[in-house]
């Protein structure tokens, strides 16, 4: 994903609070994408549902990675 804990914008470190905030945001995004995936599958938009499943998986992986630092 875009930003990492060694992001040069913050001098190479990320605060504990920032890591927790980003973890919580990633979890929220994953939950919202899951709902959209269900809606799209329910109306037969299978390819969109597939793409949203990929987005959900990416958000969950990022939230797990960030949890290590939170």
Residue 50 falls inside a structural domain = yes
Using an 8 Å Cβ cutoff, are 19 and 5 in contact? yes
What's the pLDDT at 68?
A: 83
pLDDT band at 1 (very low <50, low <70, confident <90, very high): very low
Residue 8 falls inside a structural domain = no
- pTM listed for this prediction: 0.74
Residues 34/38/41/46 CA torsion (nearest 10 deg): 0
Higher pLDDT, 32 or 13: 32
Higher pLDDT, 40 or 65: 40
What's the pLDDT at 11?
A: 55
Domain count, the chain: 1
Residue 3 falls inside a structural domain = no
Residue 26 falls inside a structural domain = yes
What's the pLDDT at 41?
A: 97
Residue 37 falls inside a structural domain = yes
Residue 61 structure tokens: 């992986």
pLDDT band at 5 (very low <50, low <70, confident <90, very high): very low
48: containing domain:
14-67
Residue 51 falls inside a structural domain = yes
Residue 7 falls inside a structural domain = no
């Amino acid at each position: 994903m875009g930003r990492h804990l060694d992001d040069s914008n913050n001098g190479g470190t990320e605060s504990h609070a920032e890591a927790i905030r980003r973890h919580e945001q990633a979890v929220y995004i994953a939950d919202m994408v899951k709902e959209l995936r269900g809606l799209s599958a329910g109306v037969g938009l299978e390819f969109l549902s597939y793409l949203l499943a990929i987005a959900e998986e990416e958000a969950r992986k990022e939230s797990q990675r960030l949890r290590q630092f939170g």
